[in-house]
Structure 1
């Protein structure tokens, strides 16, 4: 006689323990794999005499590699035990940091960056949503995802100053012209990433077949809410119809240009600030950026819901213009100026408050503007426009800096941001008008 396995309901406390593990994943493993890499740019460029444009191609190659491999990793999650996929990703990213520490030539750094980005897709880009979606099949999924992804911002608050202080211990010379006397920081972070990831692996998992993660009443309530939302949704156009719209292409070009401008704010800020402020101060600014992102991620959805796409993105554009103006102001200050420190913190807050524009923005705009008919396809197209711009932006900033100066590069980026947001907001207004004529 075969024994039947009794179904067991799972407590909310245990489900939110899984959310905490996802948040912890974003804070430490993801934070090391992704968020602190820009802090290494300036020390490495000085140490190995790379051009800024040449070195920052690591972000372009990494982003492209992650985009290509992400669908395959998503398919693997459905077939292979999640714990195995998670630890594989952790191991790949940790190995990438070891390779960073052993590298001395640009192709070696490019290869390490590609591995690091692919590894983080296993446990973060694909892994975290996979866990949350399984533990929260109905009610509470959005909240759980929001809490989980806040981990990256929380990690920034302490990882950024810790990284800068660690780098300072292994630097020779000033922050502006100094170089690394040892590649030990990479090996330290490789160990931290692997050990923390291994600990998380011991506990993080998806539900077992006999575990009940949502009651029938909750699932029914969720189904009714989804059906009601679908009835109220703008059905929209097919992807083929959208591709024929001139305003869609203007929107996409605008978002691409925005990506060019914002890449420098995310990838090159530390390399610039290192020439104007001490490592410790740059670490504090990185911490404040984490605080700004935390607030920006939480409030972004509210802004979209309350103000609509056009006004919310206008607000984001203003915040980004202010943040770049702070960088331009700093570029005219002498090294160690108190005014630079204040302006740097202002940059971090302004930039963080607008982070929703490319984090939750593509998902919201794809559905709000083009409807639910081909929502998945449109999300991919909208996100692709920004990703292409972002991939171009980091090396372009370095090229302009190498040919002229940081100041000129910041002027170019603020021009991209202004032009990009004008095109995007104008296209949004026109597309919303087309919706009304269709209804």
Structure 2
């Protein structure tokens, strides 16, 4: 837990403008280094599979291995941030991700691509997964932290808007043949992105930092108000169950299984969409659809927290489920149409908007649901288990989609993902309703 002593007399509190400069740098981190390290990688799937004659299922294991490696190393990186200089950790992550793209450029075999993917994901954890929250939590220990985190993570959606078409345009320049059957004639795009990630990351590293010793980021009045608010909130809110109590609840296991199944279905929407759309549209149009996803995600990230605050877990996640069902239906429609059909672009934009509007379900969703459903007593522990359920499903989902597609067709693969999403959200929402009912019973009984 971060320690923030009360300001001593005469100390100057850091201005809000400077604190929001740090927010902007975090947002820029998400928009370019994070975007290059993680979000644009699916756009390379189809060109790489065609160039080196891999199967879709075998190559998309790159996302599984990367996600597992990042999840395993994240706690250690978090501990490292407490012991070592943040700026050096940030630079280290940037260098690792840039080196990963260099390795991509020289790779010709699956193990080499897997190694590059793992290195890239671990690197991004330094400056994004752990780094961005670390910076925000230091500059906004009390008031404004939620808004600052929301603005910072919107950078990923903003980056999507311009990085997706730029990536597709660059790939088309170094490809021969059409989007469906074309292959790379050069691995130069990987080296360009390695340079972009490194240069932008190092520029950000020159300015981004945590507060120096002696700097005060909160006033005495803010600390007093925060303590009073926290005491009042603690007295009135549901305190929750311990993790041992939660594990004995069948609703928890239904909830977790539902979130895991949701991860199975959503992995394809995030990791395999480009490999599919490349078979139906020109690369530049796929890039425009990626931009539309960025716009949808920007709106979804901003409105998601509002939905959770106003409607709670069950209704908000039900809404997200409907959006994902509509998105997958768009993909199924496209799967029946020939390459270049006008309807492909219209349905593709529909997929992008529907998916973007629901991104809050797995971005801010786990943190909100852990406390809303299981209380604040062991919130951190429950967040870990809630996030783990989704992460396991997501890690398995991408290669599973590829395996189904390789043995059947895209239509069948998307239909299976649709079934996963429907079943997963039904389980999660029904479990959430029953858990909230348990809370009401306890509150009415005076516990």
Q: Aligning the two structures, in what range does the TM-score lie when normalised by the shorter sequence? A: over 0.9
Aligned: 1:416 with 2:408: no
Aligned: 1:38 with 2:42: yes
Aligned: 1:362 with 2:366: yes
Q: Which residue of 1 aligns with 2:91?
A: 87
Q: Which residue of 2 aligns with 1:114?
A: 118
Quote the Cα distance in structure 1 between the aligned partners of 2:190 and 2:237. Answer: 49
Quote the Cα distance in structure 2 between the aligned partners of 1:94 and 1:219. Answer: 41
Quote the Cα distance in structure 1 between the aligned partners of 2:253 and 2:123. Answer: 33
Quote the Cα distance in structure 2 between the aligned partners of 1:211 and 1:245. Answer: 46
Per the TM alignment, residue 139 of structure 1 is displaced from its structure 2 partner at its CA by 1.1
Aligned: 1:69 with 2:73: yes
Which aligned pairs between 1:143-292 and structure 2 lie closer than 5 A?
A: 143-292=147-296
Deviations 1:240-272 (A, max 9, x none): 011011111111110000000000000000000
Alpha carbons 1:8, 1:210 under 8 Å: kept? no
Per the TM alignment, residue 9 of structure 1 is displaced from its structure 2 partner at its CA by 2.6
Alpha carbons 1:369, 1:428 under 8 Å: kept? yes
TM-score using structure 1 length: 0.98
Per the TM alignment, residue 273 of structure 1 is displaced from its structure 2 partner at its CA by 0.1
Q: Which residue of 1 aligns with 2:345?
A: 341
Which SS does the other structure have where 2:206 is aligned?
helix
Runs (4+) off by over 4 Å: none
RMSD: 0.8
Deviations 1:22-78 (A, max 9, x none): 000000000000110000000000000001010000110001101111111111111
Deviations 1:173-224 (A, max 9, x none): 1100000000000000000000000100111111111211111111111222
Q: Which residue of 2 aligns with 1:381?
A: 385
Which SS does the other structure have where 1:31 is aligned?
helix
Number of aligned residue pairs: give it.
434
Q: Which residue of 2 aligns with 1:407?
A: 411
Q: Which residue of 1 aligns with 2:3?
A: none
TM-score using structure 2 length: 0.96
Q: Which residue of 2 aligns with 1:3?
A: none
Quote the Cα distance in structure 2 between the aligned partners of 1:246 and 1:138. Answer: 35
Q: Which residue of 2 aligns with 1:15?
A: 19
Deviations 1:371-392 (A, max 9, x none): 1111111111110000000011
Quote the Cα distance in structure 2 between the aligned partners of 1:232 and 1:301. Answer: 21
Per the TM alignment, residue 229 of structure 1 is displaced from its structure 2 partner at its CA by 2.1
Quote the Cα distance in structure 1 between the aligned partners of 2:434 and 2:12. Answer: 52
Quote the Cα distance in structure 2 between the aligned partners of 1:238 and 1:79. Answer: 30
Segments of structure 2 that go 5 or more residues without pairing to the other structure are 1-9
Q: Which residue of 1 aligns with 2:5?
A: none
Quote the Cα distance in structure 1 between the aligned partners of 2:235 and 2:197. Answer: 45
State which of 282, 303, 308 in structure 2 corresponds to 1:304.
Answer: 308
Deviations 1:406-438 (A, max 9, x none): 010000000000000011111111111111121
Aligned: 1:101 with 2:105: yes
Quote the Cα distance in structure 2 between the aligned partners of 1:224 and 1:157. Answer: 42
